[in-house]
Structure 1
Amino acid sequence: MKTISLLFVFFFLLTSSFAQQSIVKYLSGTDKDHTVLWDFYCSEGRKSGVWTKIPVPSQWKTHGFGNYNYGHDKLKAKEQGIYKTSFLKAAAWKDKRIFIVFEGAMRDTKVMLNGKQAGEVHQGSFYRFKYDVTDLIKSGKNQLEVIVDKVSANASVNKAENGDFWIFGGIYRPVYLEITPQTFIDRIAINATADGVFNMDVYAQNLKGNEIIEGQVQKLNGEKVGKLFSVTVNPVSGFQQLRTVIDKPLNWSAEYPNLYKVVVHVKQKGLVLHSVGQNFGFRTVELRKNDGIYVNNKKIVLKGVNRHSFWPETGRTLNHAIHMMDVKAMKDMNMNAVRMSHYPPDQDFLAICDSLGLYVLDELTGWQANYDTVVGRKLVKEVVVRDVNHPSILFWDNGNEGGFNRDLDNDYKLYDPQNRVVLHPWEKFNGSNTKHYPDYNYVANTLPKDKDGGVFFPTEFMHGLYDGGAGAGLEDFWNAMNLYPANAGGFIWVLGDESLIRRDKNNAYDSDGNHAPDGILGPHREKEASYFTIKELWWPVYLTPQAIDAGFDGLVPVENRYAFTNLNACTFKWELVKFPSAAATTTAAKIIRSGVPAPLDLAPGAHGFLDFKLPAGWAENDALYLTAYDRNKQVIFTWSWPITPPAAISKTPKSWVKMPVTAIEKDRALIIQANRIKYYFDKTTGYITKVVKPNSTVSLSGGPVLAGDSATLKQFRHTAENGSEIIEADYEGNSTLHVKWTFTWDKPAKLEYSYKQKGDVDFHGISFNYPEEKVKGVKWLGRGPYKVWKNRLRGQQFGVWQKDYNNSITGESWKYPEFKGYHAEVYWITIENQESPFTVYTDDKDTFVQLYHQDRANATLNRVEPPMPKGDISFLKGISAIGTKFQEAKDMGPQSQKNSLNGDAVTGTLWFDF
Structure 2
Amino acid sequence: MRFPFSFQMLSFLAIVAVPGTLGAQDTQPAKEVLFLSGTDKDHTVPWDFICSDGRRSGTWTTIEVPSCWEQQGFGSYDYGRNYHTYGKKYRFSDETGTYKHNFSVPSGWKNRRIYLVFEGVMTDAEVQVNGQPAGEPHQGAFYRFRYDVTGKIRPGASNDLEVKVSKMSADPSVNRAERYADYWIFGGIFRPVYLESFPVEHIERVAVSAGADGSFSADVFAKGLQGPREITVTVTDRLGRIAGESRISMAKGQEKAVLNLNVPAPDRWTAETPHLYKARFVLSAGQKTLFETEEKFGFRTIGIRHGDGVYLNGVKIKFKGVNRHCFWPESGRTLSREIDLMDVRLIKEMNMNAVRCSHYPPDAGFLDLCDSLGLYVLDELAGWQNAYDTEVGEKLVREMVIRDVNHPSVIFWSNGNEGGTNKELDDDFALYDPSDRPVIHAHHRPGNDFNGIETNHYENYYSTRNILNDSLIYIPTEFLHGQDDGGAAAGLSDFWELMWRHPRSGGGFLWALLDEGVVRTDLGNRIDVNRVNAPDGVLGPHREKEGSYYALKEIFSPVKMTTGTMGPPFGDELHLENRFHFTNLRQCSFRWVTVNFARPGDRSNGHTTRLEGIVKGPDIPPGEKGRLRLGVPEEELRRAEGLMVTVQSPEGEDILTKSWLLH
TM-score when normalising by structure 1: 0.67
1:352-363 correspondence runs (5 A): 352-363=369-380
Where does structure 2 lack aligned partners over 5 or more consecutive residues? 1-22, 84-90
Residues 86 and 277 (structure 1 numbering): CA distance in 2 closer, same or farther, change over 3 Å?
Answer: same
Which aligned pairs between 1:721-800 and structure 2 lie closer than 5 A?
none
Contact map agreement 1:106 1:149 (CA 8 A) in 2: yes
Say if 2:41 is the partner of 1:37.
Answer: no
Q: Who is 1:380 aligned against?
A: 397
Q: 2:560 aligns with which of 532, 536, 542?
A: 542
Q: CA offset at residue 156 of structure 1? A: 0.1
Distance 1:132 1:474 in 2: 51
- From 349, 357, 372, the equivalent of 1:332 is 349
What code does the residue aligned with 1:30 have?
A: T
For each residue in 1:225-250, what CA deviation from the matched residue of structure 2 results, as whole angstroms up to 9, or x when unmatched? 22x31111155765210011112111
**Aligned to 1:407, which of 424, 433, 444?**
424
Residues 226 and 253, structure 2, Cα contact 8 Å, conserved in 1:
no
CA shift at 1:85, angstroms?
Answer: 0.3
Distance 2:512 2:566 in 1: 35
* Secondary structure class of the residue paired with 2:154: coil
Matched, 1:608 2:626: yes
Give distance in 2, aligned partners of 1:625 and 1:318: 38
- Kept in 1, the 8 Å contact 2:302–2:312? The answer is yes
Q: Is the 8 A contact 1:43 1:79 kept in 2?
A: yes
Q: Deviations over 1:368-394 (max 9, x none)?
A: 000000000000000000000000000
Aligned-residue offset at 1:295? 0.9
Q: How does 1:829-840 map to 2 (within 5 A)?
A: none
Distance, in Å, in 2 between the alignment partners of 1:554 and 1:106 is: 59
- Partner letter of residue 627 of structure 1? T
Residue 113 of structure 2 is matched in structure 1 by 97
CA distance in structure 2 between the partners assigned to 1:312 and 1:509 by the alignment: 7
Q: Which residue in 1 is equivalent to 2:325? A: 308
Tell me the residue number matched to 1:449: 469
Give the aligned partner of residue 76 of structure 2: 67
1:784-823: per-residue Cα shift (whole Å, max 9, x none)? xxxxxxxxxxxxxxxxxxxxxxxxxxxxxxxxxxxxxxxx
Question: Secondary structure of 2:605's match?
Answer: coil
- Partners of 1:127 and 1:598 lie apart in 2 by 47
Asked whether 1:435 is paired with 2:456, we answer yes
Q: Quick one: distance in 1 between partners of 2:281 and 2:162?
A: 35
Q: CA RMSD in A?
A: 1.7
Distance 2:288 2:433 in 1: 30
2:607 maps to which of 585, 589, 602: 589
**Equivalent residues of 1:311, 1:524 under 8 A apart:** yes
Give deviations 1:114-134, integer Å, cap 9, x for gaps: 111101010000000000000
Match among 59, 63, 66 for residue 54 of structure 1 = 63
Provide Cα deviations, 1:825-859, integer angstroms capped at 9, x if missing partner.
xxxxxxxxxxxxxxxxxxxxxxxxxxxxxxxxxxx
Distance apart, 1:636 and its partner CA: 1.6
The residue aligned with 2:201 is 183
- 2:660 aligns to what? 641
Secondary structure of 1:112's aligned partner: strand
Identity of aligned residues (%): 48
Letter in 1 for 2:493: E
Indicate yes or no: 2:102 matched with 1:86. yes
Cα contact 2:588–2:617 (8 A) shared by 1 = no
Distance 1:222 1:608, change over 3 A: closer
Question: Which of 123, 128, 132 is the matching residue for 2:139?
Answer: 123
Q: Secondary structure at the match of 2:442?
A: coil
Residues 235 and 545 of structure 1: CA distance in aligned 2, closer, same or farther (over 3 Å): farther
Secondary structure of 1:135's counterpart equals coil
Which of residues 98, 110, 113 in structure 1 aligns to 2:126?
110
Distance of aligned partners of 1:147 and 1:561 in 2 relative to their CA distance in 1, 3 Å threshold: same
SS in 2 for 1:344: coil
> Residue in 1 aligned with 2:504?
486
2 CA distance for matches of 1:599 and 1:40? 60
Point out the structure with max Rg over C-alpha: 1
Kindly provide the CA deviation profile for residues 148-185 of structure 1, in whole angstroms up to 9, marking residues without a partner as x.
00000000000000221110000000000000011111
Q: What is the CA distance between 1:551 and its match in structure 2? A: 5.1
The answer as to whether partners of 2:223 and 2:255 remain within 8 angstroms in 1 is no
Q: Confirm or deny: 8 A CA contact 1:234 1:240 kept in the other structure.
A: no
The answer on whether the counterparts of 1:597 and 1:610 sit within 8 Å (CA) in structure 2 is: no
Q: Identify the residue that residue 621 of structure 1 maps to in structure 2.
A: 640
In structure 1, what is the Cα distance between the partners aligned to 2:397 and 2:562?
A: 45
- Superposition map of 1:208-247 within 5 A: 208-226=226-244, 228-234=245-251, 238-247=255-264
Q: 1:508 aligns with which of 526, 543, 550?
A: 526
1:419 to 414, 431, 436: 436
Q: What's the counterpart of residue 811 of structure 1?
A: none
What secondary structure does 2:381 align onto? strand
CA distance, structure 1, for counterparts of residue 657 and residue 252 of structure 2 = 61
> Where in structure 2 are the equivalents of 1:387-398 lying within 5 Å?
387-398=404-415
* Deviation of 1:635 (Å): 1.5
Amino acid at match of 2:45: V
* Inter-partner Cα distance in structure 1 for 2:368 and 2:355: 13
2:246 alignment partner, SS class: strand
State how 1:674-753 maps to structure 2 within 5 Å: none
Which residue identity does 2:424 align to in structure 1? D
Higher relative contact order (CA 8 A, sep 6+): 2
Distance 1:359 1:408 in 2: 23
In the alignment, structure 1 residue 296 sits paired with structure 2 residue 313: yes
What is aligned with 1:663? none
What amino acid is the match of 2:100?
K
| 1:519 matched to 2:540 | no
Q: Distance in 2 between matches of 1:478 and 1:620?
A: 37
How many Å separate the matches in 2 of 1:544 and 1:305?
Answer: 27
Contact kept in structure 1, 2:231 and 2:247, CA below 8 Å: yes
Q: Deviations over 1:76-130 (max 9, x none)?
A: 1011000000112311101100000000000000100111110101000000000
For 1:151 and 1:598, locate their aligned partners in 2 and report how far apart those are by CA, in whole Å: 58
Contact 1:500 1:510 in 2 (8 A): yes
- What TM-score does the superposition give when structure 2 sets the normalisation length? 0.92
Residues 609 and 164 of structure 1, relative CA distance in 2, 3 Å threshold: same
User: What is the letter of the counterpart of residue 632 of structure 1?
Assistant: E
- Separation of aligned partners in 2, 1:319 and 1:119: 29
**Which residue number in structure 2 is paired with residue 207 of structure 1?**
225
- 2:122·2:165 contact (CA, 8 Å) conserved in 1? yes
Instruction: Check whether the contact 1:189–1:389 (CA below 8 A) recurs between aligned residues.
Output: yes
Instruction: Return the alpha-carbon distance in structure 1 between the equivalents of residues 639 and 467 of structure 2.
Output: 48
Q: In the superposition, relative to structure 1, how do residues 348 and 134 fare at CA in structure 2: closer, same or farther (>3 Å)?
A: same
CA displacement 1:627-683 (0-9 Å, x = unmatched): 111101122211011233xxxxxxxxxxxxxxxxxxxxxxxxxxxxxxxxxxxxxxx
Q: Partner of 2:151: helix, strand, or coil?
A: helix
Separation in structure 2 between the aligned mates of residue 434 and residue 518 of structure 1, nearest angstrom: 20
1:172–1:637 Cα change, 3 Å: same
Instruction: State the Cα deviation string for residues 871-900 of structure 1 (Å, max 9, x = none).
Output: xxxxxxxxxxxxxxxxxxxxxxxxxxxxxx
What is the CA–CA distance in structure 1 between the aligned matches of 2:24 and 2:405, rounded to whole Å?
Answer: 32
- Displacement of 1:615: 2.4
Q: Which amino acid aligns with 2:523?
A: K
SS at match of 2:330: coil
* Aligned partners of 1:30 and 1:174 also within 8 Å: yes
1:291-343 residue CA offsets vs partner (Å, 9 max, x unmatched) = 11111111111111111000000001111100000000011111111110101
**Contact map agreement 1:575 1:591 (CA 8 A) in 2:** yes
Paired position in structure 2 for 1:652: none
